């Protein structure tokens, strides 16, 4: 189910070129391999599939000037969404969700069994205490036969 949902997102969501509304905060630096992870939030504008203007917040390179084209992802209605998961990411998520669901399903009878065992053990100890209170005083004394 998870994989099907993520595959549907990949099929429906589309990349759209949006334009940066204002200069992005921060200072533009030298582009390195790690600069891809250094992003700031900024206002962007794009057109929805029906032609209506849209705007929203997207992550862009620091110091980008206004009007810089930025690729954003939108759903069929033109709302901003995140980048869809790749097939590998979808498979990993589905595996993790399935494993977690299985673990939770296994935990229910385990926890119920532990609770039942604790209750039965408590009753056994209580019963043993009553019996000991009844026969304990005659224990260790001289036989009366």
The pLDDT assigned to 97 comes to 95
Tens-place pLDDT, residues 55-79: 999 999 998 999 999 999 999 988 9
- Is pLDDT at 18 greater than 60 in this prediction? yes
The angle, 0 to 180 degrees and rounded to 10, between the axes of the packed helices 2-12 and 87-135 is: 150
**Confidence (pTM):** 0.62
Neighbours of 75 (CB within 10 A): 15
> Over pLDDT 90: what percentage of the chain?
68
- Is pLDDT at 32 greater than 60 in this prediction? no
Q: 18 is written with which tokens? A: 């949006």
3-state DSSP call for residue 59?
strand
Residues sharing a CB contact under 8 Å with residue 113, sequence separation 6 or more, in sequence order: none
pLDDT band at 51 (very low <50, low <70, confident <90, very high): confident
The pLDDT assigned to 38 comes to 87
The pLDDT assigned to 33 comes to 45
């Amino acid at each position: 189910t998870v994989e099907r949902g993520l595959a549907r997102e990949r099929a429906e969501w589309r990349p759209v070129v949006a334009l940066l509304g204002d200069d992005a905060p921060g200072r533009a630096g030298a582009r390195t391999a790690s600069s891809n992870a250094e992003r700031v939030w900024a206002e962007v504008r794009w057109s929805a599939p029906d032609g209506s203007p849209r705007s929203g917040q997207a992550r862009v390179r620091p110091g980008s000037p206004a009007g810089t084209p930025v690729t954003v992802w939108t759903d069929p209605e033109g709302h901003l969404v995140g980048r869809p998961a790749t097939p590998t990411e979808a498979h990993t998520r589905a595996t993790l969700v399935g494993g977690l669901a299985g673990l939770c399903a296994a935990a229910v009878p385990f926890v119920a069994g532990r609770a039942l065992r604790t209750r039965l053990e408590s009753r056994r100890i209580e019963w043993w205490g009553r019996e000991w209170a009844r026969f304990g005083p005659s224990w260790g004394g001289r036989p009366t036969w």
